[in-house]
Chains A and B, each alone.
Chain A
Amino acid sequence: MKDWALLVELGGVVLLLAIASRLAARYGFSPIPLFLLAGLAFGEGGVIPLVTAEGFIEAGAQIGLVLLLFSLGLEYSAHELVGSLRTNAVSGVVDGVLNFTPGFLAGLVLGWGATASLFLGGVTYISSSGVVARLLDELGWMGNREAPTVLSILVIEDLVMAVYLPVVTILLVGGTAGSLAGSIALSFLVVGGILAVAARYGPAISRAVFSHSDEALLLAILGLLLLTAGLTERLNVSAAVGAFLAGIVFSGAAADRAQALLRPLRDLFAAVFFVFFGFQIDPGSIPSAAPAALLLALVGVGTKLATGWWSARRAGVGPRARWRAGTALVARGEFSIVIAGLAVAAGLEPELGPLAATYVLILAVAGPILARVADCRRAAPRPAS
């Protein structure tokens, strides 16, 4: 009987993740690195390789990816996206150039193809909105003058992903220059179309879906979400982008309720997603990837510090706040894994997975630590929450 084995394995995995999450909360850092480590331990060549639960974890990882991006999209309204672009577009460009280039060049230096290098550029580029937003909140930085700048950069990065992900997904499939251009044009049409629908009919759709019954609302939103994700994947736009855009379409009461209803599901499946990523990596390949990852991480800290410093100065805040903005942006996390995950699933470049995992392991931990160091007003007593 395999049924009991599946349940036991799943139970063991989830329980281990619970312990990891608890540890992370206790010491105030993101649980993502621990989830990745757990995945490494469960995978082939790991400490306790899983046998029966693999299929479930793979499917769960896909749902996790969709939920992760959907809830990210829910956070923003189309209005906020446009507003951020208007005020901080220049910072967004600086952020992109400074942080994408190191990864892209590193890929080329390592002798990877252009496509794999594009993926590594994406991995080094994008900050973890999840980790950064939580950091701002925990350190009480939301009131600080640099907070809007930092948040706007995150919004722009996420929006860039809506363009970046379809492009790299199509490059992954490959083809002639002509067919690539055609697919890319089509995907932009899809993205543009969904954004236009969001701006125009978002509120109406949200009202139509909204129901006072939690069950009906949850099922309706989950159904629409998986459908959108699946169909956009079919159009080569990537399920991740479809889910993100679907999140933007929803707003108002439907979005608030959906956010609350989906949170437990998202937490569970997102954890599964990170585990699955670690799962696909052979732990034996980590040591050889570590030097490059460490070097890239050092550069990645520097370029994000520069980005935050420059953008905050542009917003007219003082030196200390500029450093805070820089340190807040250092953490990389879920999005880097999402990007690397696409390449790993396609079997693009065997070194990319271990390199990205190590890179995120380092920066998901280093980012919050740096931010706490920059937070020199620790001496002030913290109020009770």
Chain B
Amino acid sequence: MTDVNEVRLPGVGVRYEFVTSRGARVAVIHHRSGLRELVVYDETDPDTSREILRLDADDGRTLVDLLGGSHVAQELTKLQQSVEGLAIDWLPVPAGTPYSERTIGDTQARTRTGTSIVAVLRGDEAIPAPGPELQLHVDDTLVVVGTPRGIEELVVILRTG
């Protein structure tokens, strides 16, 4: 993970700054009121920032979801902690699977194993709550929820059909 520099703003909140891999300097200001500001620094003047967005707590979560989906993972962890016997796993769609270019519905995962596919991670993209019509590709990662046994069965199904 990138180095994040933390700057305290007394009476206001905290500012987190980092440099992107392409060299842009970015900061997120956490106001104590819950407001979030996303700012980008001037390329020629590193002291001067330009405000890009003002977000409230909800907007901030939406943006995080769209950017990376770590929120999905957080929610799942919470869910797992609250329901005993529930397992969550990240399953790769293996090369040579019979379900490549076929839909989630075709796997009949829920009917056959009781396991739900709650999200599909594709490259940098996250597709939360996918419908049965969503096509699977090799190297997708499926976020699945079910019993440990059901998930094991689904692993076999994904590999051999």
On A, residues with C-beta under 8 Å from B are: 75-76, 80-81, 83-84, 129, 133, 136-137, 140-148, 151-152, 154-155, 256, 317-318, 320-321, 377, 380, 382-383, 385
Is B125 among interface residues, defined by CB-CB distance under 8 A?
Answer: no
Within 8 A of A (CB), among B29-49: 29, 31-32, 37, 39, 41-42, 45-49
Contact indicator B47/A146 (Cβ below 8 Å): yes
Q: Interface digits, B1-42 against A, CB 8 Å rule (1 contact, 0 not)? A: 000000111111001000000000001010110000101011
- Chain A residue with minimal CB distance to B28? A143
B41 to chain A, nearest CB (A): 8
**Which A residues lie within 8 Å of B51 (CB)?**
140, 143, 382-383
B139 to chain A, nearest CB (A): 37
Pick from B7, B10, B45: contact of A155, CB under 8 Å: B10
**Which B residues lie within 8 Å of A152 (CB)?**
10
A-B contact pairs, 20 of them (CB 8 A): A76-B10, A133-B12, A140-B49, A141-B49, A142-B37, A142-B39, A143-B49, A144-B49, A145-B47, A148-B9, A148-B15, A151-B10, A151-B11, A154-B11, A317-B47, A318-B47, A320-B47, A320-B48, A321-B47, A382-B51
Contact indicator B45/A383 (Cβ below 8 Å): no
Pick from A75, A143, A148: contact of B37, CB under 8 Å: A143
**Which A residues lie within 8 Å of B12 (CB)?**
133, 136-137, 142, 151
Pick from A140, A145, A146, A148: contact of B8, CB under 8 Å: A148
Pick from A129, A141, A145: contact of B11, CB under 8 Å: A129
**Which A residues lie within 8 Å of B46 (CB)?**
145, 318
A299 to chain B, nearest CB (A): 27
- Find the residue from B7, B10, B12, B54 having the highest chain A CB count within 10 A: B10
Q: Bound complex: CA of A321 vs CA of B42, how far in Å?
A: 12
Contact indicator B11/A377 (Cβ below 8 Å): no
- Classify the secondary structure of A's interface with B: helix
Contact indicator A143/B29 (Cβ below 8 Å): yes
Is B156 among interface residues, defined by CB-CB distance under 8 A?
Answer: no
Q: Bound complex: CA of A76 vs CA of B12, how far in Å?
A: 9
On B, residues with C-beta under 8 Å from A are: 7-12, 15, 27, 29, 31-32, 37, 39, 41-42, 45-54
Pick from B15, B47, B53: contact of A142, CB under 8 Å: B15
A291 to chain B, nearest CB (A): 36
Contact indicator B39/A76 (Cβ below 8 Å): no
A378 to chain B, nearest CB (A): 11
A83-B15 contact, Cβ under 8 Å, with A142-B29, A144-B49, A321-B48? no
**Which B residues lie within 8 Å of A256 (CB)?**
32
Contact indicator A144/B11 (Cβ below 8 Å): no
- Chain A residue with minimal CB distance to B49? A143
A79 to chain B, nearest CB (A): 9
B31 to chain A, nearest CB (A): 8
- Chain B residue with minimal CB distance to A80? B10
Q: Bound complex: CA of A152 vs CA of B7, how far in Å?
A: 12
- Chain B residue with minimal CB distance to A72? B11
Contact indicator B42/A377 (Cβ below 8 Å): yes
A383-B53 contact, Cβ under 8 Å, with A145-B46, A320-B47, A377-B48? yes
Contact indicator B39/A140 (Cβ below 8 Å): yes
A383-B54 contact, Cβ under 8 Å, with A84-B10, A143-B39? yes
Sample of 11 further A-B pairs with CB below 8 A, known A142-B29, A143-B15, A385-B54: A80-B8, A80-B10, A83-B10, A133-B11, A144-B49, A145-B47, A148-B8, A256-B32, A318-B47, A377-B50, A383-B52
The 8 closest A-B CB pairs, nearest first, are A143-B49, A143-B39, A321-B47, A140-B51, A145-B47, A75-B11, A80-B10, A155-B10
Q: Bound complex: CA of A129 vs CA of B8, how far in Å?
A: 17
Q: Bound complex: CA of A382 vs CA of B39, how far in Å?
A: 12
Q: Bound complex: CA of A385 vs CA of B15, how far in Å?
A: 19
A257 to chain B, nearest CB (A): 12
Q: Bound complex: CA of A84 vs CA of B8, how far in Å?
A: 9
Q: Bound complex: CA of A97 vs CA of B114, how far in Å?
A: 74
Contact indicator B8/A83 (Cβ below 8 Å): yes
Q: Bound complex: CA of A258 vs CA of B52, how far in Å?
A: 31
Contact indicator B54/A147 (Cβ below 8 Å): no
- Find the residue from A143, A152, A256 having the highest chain B CB count within 10 A: A143
- Chain A residue with minimal CB distance to B54? A385
**Which B residues lie within 8 Å of A151 (CB)?**
9-12
A148-B11 contact, Cβ under 8 Å, with A140-B50, A142-B29, A380-B50? no
Q: Bound complex: CA of A317 vs CA of B10, how far in Å?
A: 18
**Which B residues lie within 8 Å of A383 (CB)?**
51-54
Contact indicator B45/A148 (Cβ below 8 Å): no
**Which B residues lie within 8 Å of A142 (CB)?**
9, 12, 15, 29, 31, 37, 39, 49
B40 to chain A, nearest CB (A): 8
